[in-house]
Each structure stands twice: as C-alpha cells, then as structure tokens.
Amino acid sequence: MMTNLQTTPASLNLEQAAIPIQPGPAYHCFQCGAPARGLHAWLPCGSPLDVWADHIAYLKLACACPKASRVARLDEWITPLAFHQDLDAFPTWAAFVEANVRAVRQTLAGLAASIPDEAKALDAPARIVHQLLVGQLPPAEAVAQIRALSVGLAG
C-alpha cells in the first residue's frame, strides 16, 4: 500500500513538507507504481555514507524507471533518496560528501516526520530516536535519555 503524499520540490525543507512514503514490506516504484521485489541494503564500501548504511537501500524494481530505486528507510518505511551526482558542482570532495550526508539526514528527518502517528513505535528507544530525527529532542538530551534507559536495565 502506497501512502499518497505530494512530492517535495528540491528547494523545500523536507522536514516541513509532505513527501511520498511507503510502509513495507511490500513496496512499489515511486514513479510508476509497479510492484518492487523488496530492498537491497546499502553495502558498506569505505564510503563516508557507510555510517548511514542502515538507512539507505535500493528498491528491487521490475520496471525500467530511471533513478527511481534509491530510498531512505526508517524501520519498514521508505521514501525516495536523491544524492548529488555532479562532483564538479562542489569546490571540494569534502563538500560533495557533506552535501550527500546532509541529503540523507534531511530525507530521514522528513520521513520520520511523515510517518503517521499511529504507525510510530511506542517503546522508549524508538521514541527517543524518532524525536531526535524530527528535531523534537536535542542530541545531548537523546543521549541522556538513552543512558537513563540503560541504567534502568542494569539496576
């Protein structure tokens, strides 16, 4: 089942605009709606994006839609993920990498904010991560809350 939300122009802040999202595990092409055959996980390859491997995947598409397969994922929810491709548009390799890392962060924040409330996990660790990703919780507070959870488990 595809959640029908309008696509977001690249100039808008993804954290404040509706984006197309889909719940898994049955996915479809975001362009033509053809059923996909699951996801391929990002394979760590020494890239600076490897730290985001759990949140980057590729739809196994049966259709021929160009550049429609890369997605950001949170649990079983996905949304299209666009990377910058033109290295010449950036002054340095580091700026190019940072732009793509920023794209992952913004897309994940938009995805987290777009998941319907009734579909969000209610357990404490998932709630903390969700609030962190949507900007409702500062990183230091998220760390403090996670540490408090681990102290509670040890005691």
pLDDT in tens, 64-94: 887 779 999 998 899 999 999 999 999 999 9
For the stretch 94-106, pLDDT in tens is 999 999 999 999 9
Comparing CA positions, the residue from 69, 70, 46 lying closest to residue 56 is 70
Share of the chain above pLDDT 70, in %: 83
pLDDT: which is higher, 45 or 18: 45
- Tell whether 37 and 110 lie within a shared domain: yes
- Tell whether 5 and 65 lie within a shared domain: yes
Domain range for 8 is 1-118
Cα–Cα distance between 7 and 14 in angstroms, integer? 10
* Kind plus residue range of the DSSP H or E element containing 92: none
What is the tally of structural domains in the chain?
A: 2
The pTM is what? 0.68
Q: Alpha-carbon torsion 144, 130, 26, 8, what sign?
A: negative
Q: What's the token pair of residue 54?
A: 């759990």
